Every structure is written in C-alpha cells, then in structure tokens.
Amino acid sequence: MKHYCFFIWTAAALLFASCGGSANRDKAPREAAEASPALEIDAVLAGADTLAGRTIELEGICTHICKHGGTKIFVMGSDDTKSLRIEAAGLGSFDRKCVNSIVRVKGILREERIDEAYLQRWEAAAAAQAAAEHGETAAGCDSEKAARGETGNSAAERIADFRTKIAARQAAAGKAYLSFYFVEALSYEVVE
C-alpha cells in the first residue's frame, strides 16, 4: 500500500509540474518579447559590426525625413553626432509625423562600404553630372553627411574627405574601406 500511495503522489506531482511548466514555458517567451526594450541608437552604432545583417528593433528621435518622397528618416542617438539612417524599403514612405517624434523601428541592419572603387564611380558620376548641368550640385543631404561625419560640401570635397578617412582607417586597422550602417525598415511606429 505504501508503494501504491508513493506512486500516486509521484504521478500527481509530475503531472502538476508538467502542466505548470508547459504554461510557464509558453508564457516566458511572450513576456520576454513584450518586455524586451528596443535598442538605443548609440548601442546599435557601437555594435553595428556584429549586428549587421540581423533584424533589430530600435527607438530614437526622428530628426529628419527625406524631402524626396519621405523614403528615409534619420534617428538621433544621445547627441546629434550619433545618427542612423532608416530606409522605408518595402514600406513605401514614412509619415511626416515621424519628425521630432520618438519612433520605434523594426528592420534589418545593413552595412554600406565606401572604398576606392566606390569613390571612382562617384567621381565619374559627378563629372558626368557637372558636364550635363554646367555646374556642380552634388552637395548632398545635410542629415546624410552628418550621419557619415562628412565635412566637405562639393562632391570633390566629400570624395577627398572619404579618401583621407579611408587612409587613416587602413593605417590604424588594416581596412581599406569605411563602414556606414543603415536600417532597412520592416515596420515602424510613432511612439510619441
């Protein structure tokens, strides 16, 4: 009789634990997903080389929306020297309400590399544009330039600036390119 009671108590305890454990296992990922905070821009930029190619969720203040169709926004980190470009990609365009608001974006972090081949293509395109327009109008978007830390105003100045930075990076890290990161948005919302 003792063995029979022990067996019933053990079976009941196992049944209770497995039912409770299953509910907790199903609930835990859901709670973790809801509770997981979005990354701040500073953290994304600091870990960009390891996050590239991955889907991330981030949050920050939108400081600018591209005037040419609203397909890009710029989200600021802890100060205006830390900024990340967000591209609407398959979403079409961003709502103008994003500007000066906190936005939460889910998307894929992408790396763009600027190397000598890139700069030579840019020079050729700028020369063709200058010849067609009899002037140079490739000053570029101020928000894009700020996000990349660019100081030049004309295409030629910007290209020279990149060459200087590439040379410094190659000397310091052995990499003959600059990495710039942006997010291909999958979804977004205006938080505030």
Q: Which residue ranges make up each domain of the chain?
A: 1-36, 39-113+181-190, 114-178
CB 156 within 8 A of CB 138: no
CB 179 within 8 A of CB 171: no
Distance CA 39, CA 181 (A): 15
Where do we find the tokens 């203040």? 61
Which fold, 39-113+181-190? OB fold (Dihydrolipoamide Acetyltransferase, E2P) (2.40.50)
Would you call 77 helix, strand, or coil by DSSP? coil
- Render pLDDT for 88-98 as a digit per residue (tens, 0 to 9): 989 999 999 99
User: What pairing do the DSSP bridges indicate for beta strands 83-87 and 102-114?
Assistant: unpaired
Would you call 124 helix, strand, or coil by DSSP? helix
CB 181 within 8 A of CB 45: yes
pLDDT of residue 75: 95
Report pTM: 0.70
- Render pLDDT for 42-82 as a digit per residue (tens, 0 to 9): 999 999 999 999 999 999 999 999 988 899 999 999 988 89
- Identify the CA nearest to 77 among candidates 93, 49, 58: 58
- Render pLDDT for 115-169 as a digit per residue (tens, 0 to 9): 999 999 999 998 888 766 544 445 567 777 677 777 777 888 999 999 999 999 9
CA angle (184, 163, 52) in 5-degree steps: 25
